[in-house]
Amino acid sequence: MATLQFKNVIKQYRQGKQSLQVIHGVSADIADGEFIVIVGPSGCGKSTLLRMVAGLEEVTGGEILIGPRVVNELEPAERDIAMVFQNYALYPHMSVFDNMAYGLKIAKVPKDEIKTRVDKAAGILELGHLLERKPRQLSGGQRQRVAMGRAIVRQPQVFLFDEPLSNLDAKLRAQTRIEIQKLHRELGITSLFVTHDQVEAMTLAQRMIVMNAGHMEQFGTPEEVYNRPATTFVASFIGSPP
């Protein structure tokens, strides 16, 4: 596990000859094992922040640290992170076990170690009885859990979630939320969870980062953000009482 630090992080996208700045100097210190939610309206830069941590986008300015390491220049595979997306594509022809084991096989993890890790993840996610099934023989919720299992078995230092619940119906969304909380209780992995839904943010976060147009408007506990919004934007976005 590890701390996660943003130090004056800036992102500019190139658009032809122009450049467009979408993250304007974000700084935040996240403790080892914290569950942090990044919340804000569509287009405010949530995914961009996450993708820079993952190494899927270059950092234009500032630094991102995982533990003691500045990760700006590291390849995604060297960063000890795992990411759960909204569109979790499972391999349809592989069993649940093989779906979870696949990344470890590629990384040449020994076979018995793979089995130990998959069995442990399956235990936590209540997938133990489903390991021989194919994805099409699973419910939507079970498939979502397999996608999370695939991330857990890599034993990452940091977990990144980019709106993993937004394609699910209300019931499944609530179930999966509970699943994610349980996962965090059991494994205690430092987590960054992105959503545009303020209610989801308030329920899941230990602390939350409220973003607006590439700026961090506030970083605090749900209670602080709700009761003492730092800006008028935060107050109206969160729906704080006037």
Give the binding site for ligand ADP (CB under 6 A). 13, 15, 20, 22, 40, 42-48
Choose among 132, 126, 116: nearest CA to 148.
126
Choose among 13, 29, 86, 60: nearest CA to 216.
29
Closer residue to Mg ion (CB): 47 or 218 = 47
Closer residue to ligand ADP (CB): 44 or 101 = 44
Q: Is 144 in the site for Mg ion (CB under 5 A)?
A: no
Site for Mg ion, residues 30 to 59, rule: CB under 5 A: 47
Q: What is the DSSP letter of 44?
A: S
**Looking at this protein, which amino acid is placed at residue 41?**
P
Pairing mode, if any, of strands 18-30 and 81-84? unpaired
Choose among 39, 8, 35: nearest CA to 211.
39
Closer residue to ligand ADP (CB): 47 or 198 = 47
Structure tokens at 116: 């130990």
Tell the smallest beta-carbon distance from residue 7 to ligand ADP (Å).
19
Closer residue to ligand ADP (CB): 121 or 163 = 163
Tell the smallest beta-carbon distance from residue 81 to Mg ion (Å).
17
Chain CA centroid to CA 66, Å = 14
Residue number of the CB closest to Mg ion reads: 47
Q: Residue 102 binds which entry of ligand ADP, Mg ion, none, with Cβ cut-offs from 5 to 8 Å by kind?
A: none
The set of residues, in sequence order, having a beta carbon less than 8 Å from that of 183 and lying 6+ positions away, is 124, 125, 148, 152
Closer residue to ligand ADP (CB): 183 or 211 = 211
Q: Residue 18 binds which entry of ligand ADP, Mg ion, none, with Cβ cut-offs from 5 to 8 Å by kind?
A: none
Helices (H), 40-159: 46-54, 96-106, 111-124, 140-152
Tell the smallest beta-carbon distance from residue 160 to Mg ion (Å).
12
Tell the smallest beta-carbon distance from residue 20 to ligand ADP (Å).
6
C-alpha span between 152 and 40 (Å, rounded): 27
Q: Which residues bind Mg ion (CB under 5 A)?
A: 47
